[in-house]
Amino acid sequence: MVKRNSCVFISGKGSNLKNLIIKSRDSSFPINIKLVISNDPNAYGLRYAKQFSIPYYIIDTKSEKYENFLLVKLKEYKISIICLAGFMKIISKKFIKNFNKKIINIHPSLLPKFKGLNTYSRILKNREKISGCTVHYVNEKLDNGRIICNKKFSIEDTDDQKTLKIKTQKLEHFAFPQALIRVFNKN
């Protein structure tokens, strides 16, 4: 099987990055992670790039040139898919058009519900009974692209933001790999 080169964008903890790195060691998994990008030099997740000897770059999103820099690097590493795994910056329309390959994102709600930030507090405020996570293609509208897969769980009365996050992320670690298999194996 020919593996596709992937780049993972992070901003924080990097639990999805770590999970994808481990999955990608399996010869039947459709991607290799060739590059990691973070907009935060202190992102905890960068230690996984270091630990697994994956090249990484820290970008300054305040600089106008950062998207051009990224496009050059993505080309250099022959990246066919970008995985947004907790990347807290919005990718511009121009970047999506210029990259012209797949970009997928993981979001901690059952899209199309609760797009955007502060997801857990809004879910609780709305007294939802079910929540979950969604992996979707990225288009020019926030959290709006075609859904690839989602995973659900029931919300208990005792759940708070902390427990919702734990339950959601546990499912994310199944959903993201499954989405990549769907994207490339079409099943």
List the catalytic residues: 107
Q: Does 167 bind ligand GRF (CB under 6 A)?
A: no
Tell me the per-residue interface mask from 98 to 137 with ligand GRF, x by CB under 6 A, - otherwise.
--------xxx------------------------x----
Binding piece for ligand GRF, criterion CB under 6 A, among 14-22, 46-54, 60-68, 144-152: 14-22
Decide the pairing of beta strands 130-137 and 147-154: antiparallel
Between CA 107 and CA 113 the distance in angstroms is 10
Secondary structure E strands in the chain:
4-10, 31-38, 56-58, 81-84, 102-107, 130-137, 147-154
Nearest to 10 by CA among 176, 139, 178: 176
CB of 68 to ligand GRF, least distance (A): 25
Which residues are within 8 A (CB) of 115 and not within 5 positions of it... i.e. 6 or more apart? 107, 109, 142, 143, 144
Nearer to ligand GRF, 88 or 96 (CB): 88
Does 45 bind ligand GRF (CB under 6 A)? Our answer is yes
Tell me which of 128, 143, 159, 172 binds ligand GRF, using CB under 6 A: 172
> Which residues are at the interface with ligand GRF (CB under 6 A)?
10, 12-17, 45, 85-86, 106-108, 133, 169, 172
